[in-house]
Amino acid sequence: MTELTNTFWEYVYELTVKQLHCYYIRGKKKS
């Protein structure tokens, strides 16, 4: 159970970081 939870949070973390990165790049292009 612990391993599964760790994998899930790692996945969510990576997804969030990627989304934030794309959002940041888009914001920079607009300026």
pTM: 0.59
Please calculate the CA angle 28-13-30 and round it to the nearest 5 degrees: 10
Percent pLDDT > 70 in the chain is: 97
CA 13 – CA 6 distance, rounded (Å): 10
State residue 23's pLDDT score: 94
Q: How confident is the model at residue 20 (pLDDT cuts 50, 70, 90)?
A: very high
Contacts of 3 (CB under 8 A, 6+ apart): none
1 DSSP 8-state letter: -
Look at residue 1 and tell me whether its pLDDT is greater than 70. Answer: no
| Residue 21 exposure: Cα atoms within 13 Å on the Cβ side | 6
